[in-house]
């Protein structure tokens, strides 16, 4: 339901505002709802098939499977060959997506990039290709609505300053948000895939800017790898705020945001971008990691 509500919470001795995009829709939650907003408004008879590609536990994959089920569209998804443990017991977002009717196509690792290029040049009537993670111009309309809600929130609160923070995977949400936020609102993002240079390169494929501020980071972390400090942050947030955040994007963003907070007295609005459906498999990975440490 739009506009999404804003919760006020206290964490680590500081007040934060949480934009609860995770509550918009039980299946299409967070920034995926925003990215797919245009397709949600599209008449069902415009397409027959949606094609996308990416990781086997992708939040975007699950959101697209929900969308296609609602619209009655076939959903074909391409991913690299599944690891044996996942073949032995399908779980997480992959299981949820398959239950929604997704048609899965496994591609050999060394041929995946070639397959993606082939899909990008596919010309098939009634078929739409959605780029990995929803990094597509189609995302702009829904994210523009989010920007308007934030602009209205600042006016409603009478804030003289406001910083908006959100995590970035493809960085699409942050990019289009920056374009439509009022000029006196500062936008910060935490880059989870690659580094700042890589993120700017990806942004450049969609827009010439302006681009969001990127939290500086001196330590490199592998994407979607379990880290003890991430789990601790997840648990601290849950116990202090009563809000469940995702385990891949949120913890690092909160860690960097808290470091930034040491030097600012600005009002901070954090965008909850959803993705909690992936927590089940991430928690299993943390459990497995802890068992290994105890040996």
State the pLDDT at residue 13: 92
Helix axes 228-241, 250-261, angle to 10 degrees: 80
Instruction: Tell me which residue has tokens 């908006």.
Output: 164
Q: How far is CA 243 from the centre of its chain?
A: 17
Burial class (CB in 10 A: 0-12, 13-18, 19+), 242: exposed
Cα–Cα distance for residue pair 247/14, rounded to 1 Å = 22
Mean pLDDT across 195-208: 89
Q: Which two tokens stand for residue 226?
A: 């379990």
- Ranking 64-68, 191-195, 288-292 by mean pLDDT, the lowest is 288-292
pLDDT at residue 295, as a whole number: 55
Q: Tell me the per-residue pLDDT of 264-276, one tens digit each, with 9 for 90 and over.
A: 789 999 999 999 9
Cβ-based neighbour number of residue 67 at 10 Å:
23
Is a pLDDT exceeding 60 seen at residue 33?
A: yes
Q: What is the mean pLDDT of residues 12-25?
A: 96
pLDDT-derived band at 288 (thresholds 50, 70, 90) equals confident
Residue 194 pLDDT grade (very low, low, confident, very high; cuts 50, 70, 90): confident
pLDDT tens-place string over residues 101-126? 999 999 999 999 999 999 999 999 99
Token reading at 196: 């700042």
294 band by pLDDT with thresholds 50, 70 and 90 = low
- The pLDDT assigned to 118 comes to 97
What secondary structure does DSSP assign to 23-51, as a single string? GS-SSS-THHHHHTHHHHTS-GGG-SEEE
Cis peptide before 126 (omega within 30 of 0): no
Give tens-digit pLDDT for 46-82: 999 999 999 999 999 999 999 999 999 999 999 999 9
Predicted confidence (pLDDT) at residue 228 exceeds the cutoff of 90: yes
Question: Which one-letter DSSP state was computed for residue 73?
Answer: -
| Residue 210 preceded by cis peptide, ω within 30 | yes
Distances (CA, A) of 51 to 76, 119, 235: 5, 8, 36
Rounded to 5 degrees, what angle do the CA atoms 252, 130, 73 make? 120
pTM (predicted TM-score): 0.93
Between β-strands 268-271 and 162-168, what pairing exists: parallel, antiparallel or unpaired? parallel
Domains parsed from the chain with CATH numbers: 6-27+139-294 (3.40.50.1100), 32-137 (3.40.50.1100)
**Main-chain dihedrals φ then ψ at residue 162, nearest 5 degrees:** -155, 130
Residue 26 reports pLDDT greater than 90 = no
Tokens 């290994």 belong to 292
pLDDT at 173 over 90: yes
3-state DSSP assignment of residue 184: coil
Residue 265, class by beta-carbon neighbours within 10 Å (0-12 exposed, 13-18 middle, 19+ buried)?
Answer: exposed
Q: Does the structure show a pLDDT above 70 at 8?
A: yes
């Amino acid at each position: 339901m739009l506009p999404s509500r804003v919760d006020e919470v206290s964490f680590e001795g500081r007040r934060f505002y949480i934009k609860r995009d995770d509550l918009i829709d039980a299946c299409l939650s967070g920034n995926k709802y925003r990215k797919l907003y245009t397709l949600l408004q599209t008449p069902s008879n415009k397409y027959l098939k949606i094609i996308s590609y990416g990781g086997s536990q992708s939040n975007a994959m699950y959101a697209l499977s929900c969308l296609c089920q609602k619209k009655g569209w076939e959903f074909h998804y391409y991913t690299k060959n599944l690891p044996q443990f996942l073949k032995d017991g399908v779980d997480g977002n992959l299981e949820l997506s398959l239950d929604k009717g997704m048609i899965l196509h496994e591609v050999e690792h060394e041929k995946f990039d070639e397959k993606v290029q082939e899909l990008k040049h596919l010309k098939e009537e009634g078929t739409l290709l959605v780029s990995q993670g929803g990094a597509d111009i189609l995302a702009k309309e829904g994210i523009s609505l989010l920007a308007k809600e934030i602009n209205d929130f600042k006016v409603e609160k009478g804030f003289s300053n406001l910083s908006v923070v959100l995590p970035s995977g493809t960085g699409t949400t942050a990019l289009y948000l920056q374009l439509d936020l009022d000029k006196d609102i500062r936008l910060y993002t935490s880059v989870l895939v690659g580094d700042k240079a890589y993120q700017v390169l990806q942004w450049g494929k969609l827009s010439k800017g302006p681009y969001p501020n990127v939290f500086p980071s001196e330590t490199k972390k592998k994407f979607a790898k379990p880290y003890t400090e991430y789990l601790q942050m997840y648990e601290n947030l849950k116990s202090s705020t009563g809000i469940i955040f995702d385990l891949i994007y949120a913890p690092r963003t909160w860690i960097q945001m808290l470091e930034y907070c040491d030097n600012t007295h600005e009002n901070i609005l954090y965008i909850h971008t959803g993705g909690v459906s992936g927590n089940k498999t991430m928690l299993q990975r943390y459990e497995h990691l802890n068992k290994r440490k105890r040996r």
